[in-house]
Amino acid sequence: MKPGIRARLMILALAFLVIPALGYYSSLEIRGFLLRGQQSSQLMAVQAIASVLRERYDLFLAHAGAASSKEWDAVNYIYSATAPIKLDGDSADWGSVIETGKRVLGRESLIKETGGGFDPESGGFDLAMARWGERVYLWINARDQAVVSQAPGRAAPEKADHILLTLIDGDKGQTEYLIPVSPTGELSFWARPGPGEPYLRDETLLGRSAIGPAGYRMEIAIPESRIAGSMMIKILLVDVDDPRTGRERYTLGPRDDETPGLIRLGYLESNSIQRMLENLELGGAWVMVVDSKSRVRAESGSLPVEPVFHHVISRRIMSEGSPISEIQEDGAGGDLVVSGAPIKGLERDILGAVILASSASVAQSMQEKAMENAIEASMFAFIVITFGLALFATRLALRIHRLRREAEGAIDATGRVTVESLRASRDAGDEIGDLSRSISQLLTRLRRHQDFLALLPGALKHEINNPLNNITVSLENLEAHTPAGDAHKYIKSAGRGAARLKELVDSLAEAASVEDSIQKEKFERVCLSSLLERYMENSARMDARHTIKFINLAGDAYIEGSDFKIEQMLDKLMDNAMDYCPDGGMIEARLERSRNGLLLNFSNSGPTIPDHMKEKIFDSLVSTREGRGGARPHLGIGLYIARVIAEGHGGAISACNLPDGNGTMFQMIFPENR
């Protein structure tokens, strides 16, 4: 079966699902557009930052007195603290200095190993420097499984784990301080005037230490003036494993120079840059300023994923010397827009680079939002339109169904027009309304034709009766005036012809009026079983050629009807049976009760009815007879009348052949009147 209107419209409605697809493509466009916008605004930002920093090229220079630029690599930066540093052995007040500026010294820093082996896993130290006010602070985090602190009293300080710090005061010469790990936390500083001389307490420096399970930490404050002259210090860590003998296990220190422990210092003015970056208020963006060696000078903002690409980017910026912008995956499923611009010095030399990265999440979220909107809108549209279409289609289907039902009901089972004007969609202005009106017109015309056909036999009878009467009476007169002889034979013959004509016209008129007459009939309670019994008994009495019998299985059975009409119906059935039943054959009526009413089977032996005739046999002017040419005309009206009477009694009639193939059976069903 092909899909109905509703199903077809529903399939069509699926076309609306193309909207999300279109939405997806347009969201891709939006995303591209947004990303391009983000890139260009980022480029503008980084170029602006780069221009500002260009004006402050001095910030990129090492502190005055620092080594020349070829030695930059060896400079140890002194960071600017963001808050005052307390000497308490705790690193909390150092802010991010330790994290970003610490120097980790491990195996490669091993200078001397005397006692047992140095274990790089548990040994080594971190060094960080910061400035606050007029002081430079040192932060040392030594890893030591067995800390040996200075024994109480005035024990030799060199017999504890200690730091050797040498301040080089330029032309004033240098002072080496021995700083043992203090058991109390209060650091003591020991200096000796010359090599080999004993250590004496020196009170010019301040510091504190703290011992933990993994080692010790020291915070040391040095007046800035003590290092400003040379911008160099020497620092060594000496690990002692026996407080009694003072035996040294190893010595660690930076090896930047030929002199072990010597490091060059430089002030890192990044704070200015940092502050500047922070003042920019770049929202969710991450900004980094690197120097020409790709060292981070300032960083602001954060990204969900650690930016590991800035080296690559900064090198590219500095080698190309021009701004770049690209989109990278952030490694967490999202995208990053990364832009960078070189910072150029006064001589167009490249001082560093500004790198700015921000998540493409805005574009992404915009895309998702756009997509979401498209899907939501299209689903809404889909649902609304589908619902509308379903409603429309249902209404349409319903209207067509109603029209069809009414149109079907307008013509009854016998093909008679019962309704001339359809009510369904009668006043509708659309095509279905047109269809309804067309069908009504059609029915009206059909009805007129039907009425004409119904009136025809009556009119014909009326018109024929006069000339027929004329013939009949003329023949009688002719017969009276003609002497007996051959002529009488012809006169009789003509008379028979006229009589037959009369019968014919009567039959036609009877058929035409039977429906009308049964409607006018006053119905009463009729005992069908006794009527049948009398009828069959009387028929049997008059007819010796056939075996006529009645079998009553229903007992006393009543119907609402007219005995005249039932008799007329039985006459027609009996006539039909007599015509077909061979001599000695059987004609039988059988009455029984069925679920649907009283069942009357009227059967006779004889020829069967061809299958294709079983329905048509009850139509007017249909006969299966092939010119048997009896005394009576066969117009195929008898069974038609039988059907009209059966139906007029609320019953039905059908024809079939006997199972043994030796006859036919007419089956009638009547509603019982109990």
Q: List interacting residues with other proteins (CB under 8 A).
A: 461-462, 465-466, 468-474, 476-477, 480, 498-499, 502-503, 506, 509-510, 531, 534-536, 538-539, 541-542, 563-564, 567-568, 570-571, 574
Residue type, 1: M
**To the nearest whole angstrom, how small is the minimum distance from the Cβ of residue 5 to other proteins?**
52
Name the residue nearer to other proteins (CB basis): 209 or 539: 539
Distance CA 235, CA 163 (A): 7
CB of 473 to other proteins, least distance (A): 4
560 or 571, CB closer to other proteins? 571
Per the listing, tokens 């349409």 go with 396
Q: What is the closest distance, in whole angstroms, from the C-beta atom of residue 631 to other proteins in the complex? A: 11
CA-to-CA distance for 55 and 57, rounded, in angstroms? Answer: 6
Q: Based on CB atoms, which residue is closest to other proteins, 230 or 465?
A: 465
In the block, residue with structure tokens 């933990």: 212
- Identify the CA nearest to 346 among candidates 601, 35, 53: 53
d(CA 472, CA 493): 11
Q: Provide the minimum distance between the beta carbon of 421 and other proteins in the complex, in angstroms, as a whole number.
A: 29
Smaller CB distance to other proteins: residue 151 or 494?
A: 494
Q: How far is the CB of 504 from other proteins (least distance, A)?
A: 12
Q: To the nearest whole angstrom, how small is the minimum distance from the Cβ of residue 472 to other proteins?
A: 4
* Residue whose C-alpha is closest to residue 123's, from 135, 137, 136, 111: 111
Q: Pairing mode, if any, of strands 200-202 and 215-223?
A: unpaired
Return the number of the residue (522 or 595) whose C-beta is nearest other proteins. Answer: 522
Residue with tokens 């190993």: 113
DSSP state of 34: H
Instruction: Name 138's bridge partners.
Output: 129, 220
Query: For other proteins, which is the closer residue by CB, 451 or 476?
Result: 476
Smaller CB distance to other proteins: residue 412 or 516? Answer: 516
SS3 assignment, position 109: helix
Please tell me the distance from the alpha carbon of residue 294 to that of residue 285, in angstroms, as a whole number.
20
For residues 470 and 503, what is the distance between their CA atoms, to the nearest angstrom?
16
- What is the SS3 assignment for 593? strand
Closer to other proteins by CB, 403 or 509: give it: 509
Dist. CA 430–CA 377, nearest whole Å: 32
CB of 467 to other proteins, least distance (A): 9
Measured from the CB atom, the residue of 31 and 461 that comes closer to other proteins is 461
Task: For residue 188, give Cα distances in angstroms to 149, 153, 162, 200, 222.
Answer: 12, 12, 10, 10, 13
User: What single-letter DSSP state applies at residue 151?
Assistant: P
Angle at 255 between CA 250 and CA 259, to 5 degrees: 95
Output the smallest distance, CB 405 to other proteins, in A.
Answer: 38
Is the Cβ of residue 420 or residue 563 nearer to other proteins in the bound state?
A: 563
CB of 607 to other proteins, least distance (A): 24
Pairwise CA distance, residues 80 & 96, whole Å: 10
Question: Strand, helix or coil at 4?
Answer: coil
324 forms beta bridges with 340
CB 418 within 8 Å of CB 412: yes
Q: Which is nearer to other proteins, 2 or 481 (CB)?
A: 481
Question: Smallest distance, Å, CB 570 to other proteins?
Answer: 7
CB 129 within 8 A of CB 269: no
Smallest gap from Cβ 548 to other proteins, in A, equals: 10
The helix (H) or strand (E) run that includes residue 9 is helix 5-13
| Residue the block writes with tokens 């910026």 | 317
Give the nearest distance from C-beta 452 to other proteins in angstroms.
18
3-class SS of residue 637: coil
Could you tell me if 48 and 287 are in contact, meaning their C-beta atoms sit under 8 angstroms apart? no
Cβ distance to other proteins smaller for residue 200 or 473: 473
Grouping H, G, I as helix, E, B as strand and the rest as coil, residue 511 is helix
Q: What is the smallest separation between the CB atom of 539 and other proteins, expressed in angstroms?
A: 4
Three-state DSSP class for residue 615: coil
Q: CA–CA distance from 645 to each of 324, 458, 531, 668 (Å)?
A: 103, 19, 16, 11
Among residues 5 and 540, whose Cβ is nearest to other proteins? Answer: 540
